Amino acid sequence: MDLANAQKVLQDYYGYDDFRTGQKKLISAVLNGQNALGIMPTGGGKSLCYQIPGILLNGTAIIISPLISLMKDQVDSLHTLGIKATYINSSLTNEEYDERMALLREGYFDFIYVAPERFDNSYFRSIIEQLQISFIAFDEAHCISQWGHDFRPSYRSVIQTLEQINHIPLRLALTATATTEVIQDIQKLLNIDDQSVVNTGFYRENLHFHLVKGQNKQDFLFNYLSDHKQESGIIYAPTRKLVDTIHAQLIEKGYRVAYYHAGLSEDVRRQQQNKFINDEVEIMVATNAFGMGIDKSNVRYVIHHSLPMNIEAYYQEAGRAGRDGEPSDCILLFSGQDSHLPKFFIEQSELDEEKKALEYKKLRAMINYCHTEICLPRYILDYFEEDQKHDDCGHCSNCTRSGEKVDRTRDAQMVLSCVMRMEQRFGTGLTAKVLKGSKDKKVKQFQLDHLSTYGLMKQRTEKEITNFIHFLVAENYLTTGDQKYPILKLTPKAADVLKNNMKVWMHQTEIQQNEAVDFDRKLFEQMRLLRKELADQDGVPPYIIFSDATLKELCRFLPENKTEMLQIKGIGLKKFDSYGQAFLELIQLKTSDQPSHLISYQLYSEGNPIELIAKKRDIQAQTVATHLFKAYQEGGTINWQDFFDDEIEDTVLKAYHTSGEPYLKSIKELVHDEIDYTMIKAVLIKNDLLEEE
């Protein structure tokens, strides 16, 4: 089938002019009836690889999906585009189930989402066997592989069931994280040849990875959240108890927060999840039971309160940040004690010894991540055997080493000496008490108050000493071993510190703001409120209407009509017809009332600079620029040197002709950072390159 039809669907339904890397090849494979596997990063546009063929091909596309929440999100998203889609799962009433099955039998749906277990139902299978199927797609396809970090036997067993249905034209598998073993396993099971594997790599430039070691986790968390109050984020904790504790603490501090773990009833979990998805709360605190298939695109940070089990799980969970392509933080709070819980989980599992050995190997790679000195994304890409070569990211905590650098060598020598004099037989708690000079009964019981290191750090609190010991473990000066009860022991690095051959430096990690604000924040918040209102009316999550990235583009570009609005990435004809006019009216209220732009132009004509006009009128400089552009289009005059010089004009015009797209964002990506959106729009208006409606 001609890809031109796919290109038109991309423009009209999704509001994009060009496919992302890998999408065209996968879509072409499906349209030509070939089995295919796509490994693309979260937010890389995997769903379009089956949605566009499903729209174009005759019959019903069956999407095998692991979670109810994922099914609902995808169906809601398709409904906003006017596409016939549904899901069949346990959340339906008997009446809903009967109605959907009847419509399915008639071939009404373009898409149907089901869990793999649904194929165990003989009635469902009988309907499928009568249906015209366009293809089967496996979302979260790593669940198929026994080597995957989230292996599900039902995903693997459904393949045998599908073999018995002889009119399935092809199978498409999609995943965000897969090692070489997992990729080969999926290929073998679904009969996919090497030429039909599309691996676009795992790197996501918008994710900023940070390691926080040796700091009090609670203090860091509260400080970070106070700086990101308006932003959505996920905090992962390893146990139900810790989730409950953090949730209660944040509620007490006045945050809008939900929580999620397997100890809650299904109804409570669903209610809490919906609060987060629908922007009724900003923060979700959860165990790793939460998140697979969550498509919420405006998650600005993911914080892991403790060590994940492996790199695959960590990258997938961290990757729930920034699905809209906007800069987002992935923060791991690491303490030297953190490895004991995952080791306990492995030991208590029912895995055979070979599988346990594999899990220990994966955990070691995760621990090594916390000790590496190299760029953090590079470490992750190396783990996945990424072939593509990447430069250092320039914005992870290892690349930036932000924060104050303090020489803690003397303190380290005190701790290491104390551990040595305690004969490396005790844990962190008792060591901290000895250094503090505590009169605790255990200190006296073991006669540790007679040691020369007793009270050596009495000027510090026990909590501060404990945190510093955790830092020394995290930095591999001490180890806690593999025993059931963690015992502090010296490492080879410790000897160099004690002999004054090595300094111990401690960086206080500071997470900088991810982006310079080059849009009207007040207008952005007004747009978020409008989006929430429209979403509530339609019964869908707000991000399904427009992503935060699209709202920011609207705030930067300030389109004045339908033609200009369709130049914004993420707004196609279908979305504009449903929601565009409401956002246009909000922008017009902000910028285009008749007296307002003429007042700005009058002040400008009197020789006032733009920043002064903005200050006098208590509006953004960007809004003043929009007023002046409108006055120019009505016959006024502008000194374009107030906006750009000849070099900037040449650069923007070259980028405009190179990009092949009318989007300001496409042009912005091709020019240097100093050229902002206002400059770009000014160049285009001067050269009559912005189309009128």
With tokens 């890397």, the residue in question is 21
CA separation, residue 483 to residues 342, 428, 479, 480, 525 (Å): 13, 14, 11, 8, 52
**In 3D, which of 273, 285, 276, 292 has the Cα closest to residue 241?**
285
> Mean pLDDT over residues 379-386, rounded?
81
So what's the pLDDT on residue 53? 96
Of the two residues 204 and 618, the one the predictor is more confident about is 204
Tell me the C-alpha distance between 19 and 432, whole Å.
Answer: 57
**In 3D, which of 133, 131, 151 has the Cα closest to residue 143?**
151
Confidence of residue 693 (pLDDT cuts 50, 70, 90): very low
pLDDT score of 93 more than 80: yes
| Least confident segment among 96-110, 351-365, 481-495, 559-573 | 481-495
Confidence of residue 692 (pLDDT cuts 50, 70, 90): very low
Tell me the C-alpha distance between 371 and 467, whole Å.
Answer: 17
Confidence of residue 114 (pLDDT cuts 50, 70, 90): very high
Of the two residues 326 and 284, the one the predictor is more confident about is 284
> What's CA 624's distance to the chain center, in Å?
34
Per cent of the chain over pLDDT 90 is: 49
So what's the pLDDT on residue 664? 74
Tell me the C-alpha distance between 656 and 666, whole Å.
Answer: 8
pLDDT score of 250 more than 70: yes
Q: What is the mean pLDDT of the chain?
A: 88
Tell me the C-alpha distance between 73 and 87, whole Å.
Answer: 10
| Least confident segment among 13-22, 305-314, 593-602, 647-656 | 593-602
Confidence of residue 691 (pLDDT cuts 50, 70, 90): low
| Least confident segment among 422-436, 487-501, 678-692 | 678-692
Question: How is 67-110 classified by DSSP, letter by letter?
Answer: -HHHHHHHHHHHHHTT--EEEESTTS-HHHHHHHHHHHHTT--S
Beta strands across the sheet bearing 36-39: 85-88, 111-114, 60-64, 133-138, 171-175, 36-39, 197-199
**In 3D, which of 112, 98, 12 has the Cα closest to residue 62?**
112
Reading the block at residue 259, the tokens are 């929580």
318-360: pLDDT as tens digits: 989 998 888 999 999 998 778 878 888 888 888 888 888 888 8
pLDDT score of 100 more than 80: yes
Tell me the C-alpha distance between 484 and 369, whole Å.
Answer: 23
So what's the pLDDT on residue 646? 93
Model pTM score? 0.72
Q: Please, what is the Cα angle at 464 between 462 and 467, to 5 degrees? A: 110
So what's the pLDDT on residue 522? 86
**In 3D, which of 306, 499, 480 has the Cα closest to residue 412?**
499
pLDDT score of 667 more than 80: yes
Tell me the C-alpha distance between 630 and 595, whole Å.
Answer: 12
50-81: pLDDT as tens digits: 999 999 999 999 999 877 777 888 898 899 89
190-206: pLDDT as tens digits: 999 999 999 987 788 89
> Mean pLDDT over residues 255-273, rounded?
93
So what's the pLDDT on residue 387? 60
Beta bridge partner(s), residue 111: 61, 85
Are 281 and 247 a contacting pair, CB within 8 Å? no
